[in-house]
Amino acid sequence: MLWTRFQKDESGAITVDWVVLTAALIGICMLILVPFAFSLDSVVGRVSSFIGHIQTGYWNN
């Protein structure tokens, strides 16, 4: 009897719902963005290497 009354009670704190939804949204964003972060790391390394090998100065004309 106590369990069924607990299940039907809708007067809980809305804060818990928002915390769960926010945590789920953050988790989904992390699942999407982590692969991009690792691929961007290699792209940044290649761009840095390319820029590092460019010779600068007036004598390169």
- Between 20 and 1, name the one with better pLDDT: 20
Query: What's the pLDDT at 45?
Result: 86
Whether residue 23 is contained in a domain is answered as: yes
Whether residue 21 is contained in a domain is answered as: yes
Whether residue 60 is contained in a domain is answered as: no
Read off the pLDDT of residues 3-54 as tens digits, 9 standing for 90 and up. 787 777 766 667 778 889 999 999 999 999 888 877 777 888 889 899 988 8
Number of domains in the chain: 1
Whether residue 29 is contained in a domain is answered as: yes
Reduced to 3 states (helix: H, G, I; strand: E, B; else coil), residue 13 is coil
CA dihedral (55, 56, 58, 60) in degrees, to 10, reads: 10
Whether residue 2 is contained in a domain is answered as: no
